[in-house]
Structure 1
Amino acid sequence: MAAKRGKKMSGIASFNRFYETWMDHLHHLVQQLRKAPKPPGTDDDSSQLGHLVQKLMFHHAEFFRVKSAAAERDVLSVFTASWASSLERSLHWIAGWRPTTLFHLVYTEASILFEFHIADILRGQRTGDLGDLSPTQFRQLQCETVKEENAITEELSEWQDGASEIMAGSSADVREKMGRLASVLKKADDLRMRTLRRLAELLTPQQAAEFFIAAAELQFGVRDWGKKQDQHALENA
């Protein structure tokens, strides 16, 4: 039993190290996106933006792949998310960000850019950035995402209703219960990745680049602020 517990702790520690490396690489990829020409002046510029967006997409897919492997070893540790700050965990939906948050982010960025370019837009000029988005462009995808979110939330709620039975169950019962929880987590992560991919497909390379930069900046900001708050609380404990 002690050996099994040690293996689980080693596994989650390994994922924590992976996450730090993953975040460092995310910083690097976002820096590349910031430096890329926007709006793209040539086909080569547009191709470069598209390539960088794909690299960001693969980077997120790799995160979910490694996270899924960690959940298979110890799903409860993945839910407690020791790699995240207290602030990040308080915002989690099923051990990660809520998929519908992406739409709020897009609409916020679009609104900011629309106001910034409103004089050009009123003259009939296209900006090519997120300010050019139509309010109805993502409506169907957003509705589908909300529906799937609600279904997964309901499945987790059903799991939680029977969680009190775990201690009274056999080892096989516990394994089955943990397997169901891992399945719920996988569905949530699949929805996160699928929403990210489908949203990017509806955007031009420039818009997708702006979206990924905004999403990363939000992630970096919440993480940095959360770590500072945790450090402050630790120093004053």
Structure 2
Amino acid sequence: MLLLQLLIQVTDQRVIWIKRLAQNREAARKSRLRKKAYVQQLESSRLKLTQLEQELQRARQQGIFISSSGDQIHSLGGNGAMTFDVEYGRWLEEHNRQINELRMAVNSHAGDAELRIIVDGVMAHYDEIFRLKSNVAKADVFHLLSGMWKTPAERCFLWLGGFRSSELLKLLVNQLEPLTEQQLVGVSNLQQSSQQAEDALSQGMEALQQSLSETLSTGSLGSSGSTGNVANYMGQMAMAMGKLGTLEGFICQADNLRQQTLQQMHRILTTRQSARALLAIHDYFSRLRALSSLWLARPRE
């Protein structure tokens, strides 16, 4: 009797083990299928990205510029915004070349004199993008304000057509440790003054938007075509156009703040620290651009 019970118990355990083994095999099979599907999706995304890059190259050769966000196509022979997109693409290529040169110099422990020449070159190149932005602000301030010349991830953090100086300084403080007490005070003061200037510009933009809304909503919103209504409409549009003219000033002030912040940061830091700061800034925005590319190329069900 005892032997029979033992045989039954062993048989039950064997059945349970066989069932578990079958379940494990089925789970492993499904896992392999999911992994295979995922790899196929990645490969499909890679092929699509390669195809997009090839199309971009062909478009450039044919005289067409496709913005880095992947959602606009411009002809080279158009207005200021189109020209700016092309010039920004060229600026970015040269910037990447300079940053690579700077990174090699830092990694090879180049002397301060050699490093200073490269750092000064990168700083001068930043001045060039602010000049380009000043020109396009006169031609198409809305294009600059919308950030359509940037990638989608960069646009999430855009403020008045560019980066917030105060936020950039927060990022750099952690990257440049250790700093002397005098440097910490200098960076802290620069961050505080940048934040105050940003707040003032943001309040100015809010006031402008409110003023525009009030101007456009004044009077009747009906569609009557009487002479009086047409005159009122034209008067409203003229007032609104005059107020929109101040947008260029806001953009230029914001870019001037960004430019001055970079220059002040350069004065506070040593040459080697400035080099590390420029590399950190580049790496941050480069990761944002890479994030945009990965997001656009993600598998979609």
Name the TM tier (shorter chain).
0.7 to 0.9
Q: Which structure's CA Rg is the greater one? A: 2
1:15/1:224 CA distance change after superposition, 3 Å: same
User: Deviation of residue 65 (structure 1)?
Assistant: 0.6
Does the alignment pair 1:191 with 2:260? no
**Does the 8 A contact of 1:33 with 1:49 survive in 2?**
yes
1:26/1:166 CA distance change after superposition, 3 Å: farther
**Does the 8 A contact of 1:86 with 1:230 survive in 2?**
no
Give 5+ residue unaligned stretches, structure 1.
Answer: 1-5, 111-129
* TM-score normalised over the length of structure 1: 0.79
* TM-score normalised over the length of structure 2: 0.63
Which deviations, in whole Å up to 9, do the C-alpha atoms of 1:26-64 show, x marking residues without a partner? 1101111111156856xxx21111111111111111101
CA distance in structure 2 between the aligned counterparts of 1:146 and 1:59, rounded to whole angstroms:
25
- Of 137, 152, 160, which residue of structure 1 is paired with 2:201? 152
Provide the aligned length of Structure 1 versus Structure 2.
Answer: 208
Q: How does 1:176-215 map to 2 (within 5 A)?
A: 176-215=242-281
User: Deviation of residue 86 (structure 1)?
Assistant: 1.7
Amino acid at match of 1:57: M
**Does the 8 A contact of 1:36 with 1:49 survive in 2?**
yes
1:103/1:48 CA distance change after superposition, 3 Å: same
User: Deviation of residue 162 (structure 1)?
Assistant: 1.6
Amino acid at match of 1:162: S
Counterpart of 1:36 in 2: which secondary structure?
A: helix
Amino acid at match of 1:154: Q
1:49/1:7 CA distance change after superposition, 3 Å: closer
Select the structure with the greater relative contact order (CA < 8 A; seq sep ≥ 6): 1
Matched with 1:122 is none
Q: How does 1:12-27 map to 2 (within 5 A)?
A: 12-27=81-96
**Does the 8 A contact of 2:84 with 2:136 survive in 1?**
yes
CA distance in structure 2 between the aligned counterparts of 1:7 and 1:179, rounded to whole angstroms:
26
- Of 115, 122, 131, which residue of structure 1 is paired with 2:178? 131
- Of 206, 211, 218, which residue of structure 2 is paired with 1:162? 211
CA distance in structure 2 between the aligned counterparts of 1:61 and 1:166, rounded to whole angstroms:
37
| Root mean square deviation, CA, Å | 2.5
Amino acid at match of 2:191: Q
Give 5+ residue unaligned stretches, structure 2.
Answer: 1-74, 218-232
Q: How does 1:28-177 map to 2 (within 5 A)?
A: 28-37=97-106, 45-110=111-176, 130-134=177-181, 135-164=184-213, 165=215, 168=233, 169-170=235-236, 172-177=238-243
User: Deviation of residue 192 (structure 1)?
Assistant: 0.4
1:161/1:137 CA distance change after superposition, 3 Å: same
CA distance in structure 1 between the aligned counterparts of 2:267 and 2:98, rounded to whole angstroms:
19
